Amino acid sequence: MNRIAVLVSGNGSNLQALLDATASGQLDAEVACVISNSPTAFGLTRAERAGIPAVVLELRSVLTDGHTRAEYDAMLADLVAGFDPDLVVLAGWMLILGTGFLSRFPDRVINLHPALPGMFPGTHAIERAYAAFGAGEIEATGVMVHRVIPEVDAGPVLVTETVPILEGESRADLEARIHEVEHRLIVTAVQQMLAPTTTH
């Protein structure tokens, strides 16, 4: 069975969508491990509840121990590789990963971003889209899942969906609607990545 490593930094609702999809059989795969860079991420609790190995590798403590950021990436890659994943999913993972990590899993790392391709890279994408709507600059935002390259929130797009912003809705309402789309798209993207390639 295909093995997925999921990297989280916070709530882990997208991890939960993957756990639910593997449990229901919608996704023919197992979550092999959950790695967090934050010891307080609720995603760790979700993993433990599902009986899945959950490991914390905190950047700050690694740097405090005298290691470099590049060494952190290498340590993280070693940790993830130890679970022998077929696919690495960044699901709300908030650290930028360099080639030291990415080169260890060529074309096997995907990321979820709560905006359309090329829009609002980096953090607070929903907040910035909501502000841009308020300023009359955009009418819609969206969600994408893409293969990870060193450039942040860029790389070949696997799935994307537009989310119109509704006149008068609160930012919290927009966030909730975007998260719903994310929970669906992350499963579709993983299915797509794990689908056997057909040869002609």
Residues 36-75 that bind ligand GRF (CB under 6 A): none
Site map 145..184 versus ligand GRF, x via CB under 6 A: -------------------------------------x--
Q: Which of 67, 113, 124, 179 is catalytic?
A: 113
Query: CA 76, 100, 9 angle in degrees (round to 5)?
Result: 40
Residue number of the CB closest to ligand GRF reads: 92
Report whether 87 contacts 147 (CB < 8 A).
no
String of DSSP letters for 124-191: -HHHHHHHHHHTTS-SEEEEEEEE--SSTT-S-EEEEEEEEPPTT--HHHHHHHHHHHHHHHHHHHHH
Residue 29, phi then psi, degrees to nearest 5: -165, 165
Binding pattern for the stretch 105-134 against ligand GRF, x by CB under 6 A and - elsewhere: -------xxx--------------------
> Whose Cβ is closer to ligand GRF: residue 39's or residue 82's?
39
**Residue 123: which H helix or E strand, with range?**
none
Q: According to CB under 6 A, which one of 91, 129, 185, 193 is a site residue for ligand GRF?
A: 91
Under the rule (CB under 6 A), what is the footprint of ligand GRF? 8, 10-14, 91-92, 112-114, 182
